Amino acid sequence: MRRRCALQTEQIAFLIALLVAIVLPNTAILLSIVKSSVGRKSRMKFFIMHLAIAGSKFLPIALARNVIKSVVSVHLFPL
């Protein structure tokens, strides 16, 4: 029982670290595209901007679902 809780805690910590590793680079990409005034707007910037937006919105939702599922299974339904 004790090992299962430690394993779940490590999984939650890893998922939170992964969430930060996903959101920060996508935010940096969005800020650099928005702030850059050099050159005209291109299709490539448009594509990369929307790819970063999609990554920033979908992946945190998927990871948050896993974190919530892990927390609920550890604290509400311990074995």
> What pTM was computed for the model?
0.66
Neighbours of 64 (CB within 10 A): 13
- Note the pLDDT tens digit of each residue in 13-34: 888 888 889 889 999 999 998 8
- Note the pLDDT tens digit of each residue in 35-76: 887 756 788 888 998 999 998 888 888 887 877 777 777 667
Q: Which two tokens stand for residue 9?
A: 């805690």
Q: What does the pLDDT read at residue 36? A: 82
Measured CA to CA, the distance from residue 59 to residue 52 in angstroms comes to 11
Q: Which residue has the tokens 């550890």?
A: 74
